[in-house]
Structure 1
């Protein structure tokens, strides 16, 4: 968990105290209704959604490289934990349409 929080800090995304407190609260619930691995996966998914990179975010070249390397090392790099796509392939024809080079 701390590795994940450090990664957010490197990416310029400071985890709020609310998020850290929620994680600590979740950790204290381990064993009551879920196993450690199930609860840890929930925490990681929660952090990933709430601290994801959004459109318009400023990214340095170093951050982009790190993101691509991390994505390449994922078990399923094409979808987030909730099944949403992380990548979209765009053909040259689609790019031309986007830049109004063709109709």
Structure 2
């Protein structure tokens, strides 16, 4: 997960650079009439990060603002930890620490 949050910090810089350097991508984004939900963007972004699909990461990052994407990723992480905690009959804190490879508190 640390890779996801590290990428979130660079979205604003990368999006700005991509918009100014890629006219074809900019045109494609303007032509797209669909409005993306921030949770949809977060789901695509996290799934793409999990398989290191940089093209899909960049695409999802362009759908919403960096702040909205960060909020969506945080919400997804919270929901995932709660779901795993219920499934494992553990506390959310135990699950989060396990997923991050941290010792028990």
Higher relative contact order (CA 8 A, sep 6+): 2
TM-score by length of 2: 0.25
Larger fraction in helix = 2
TM-score (norm 1): 0.26
Indicate the structure (1 or 2) with the bigger Cα radius of gyration.
1
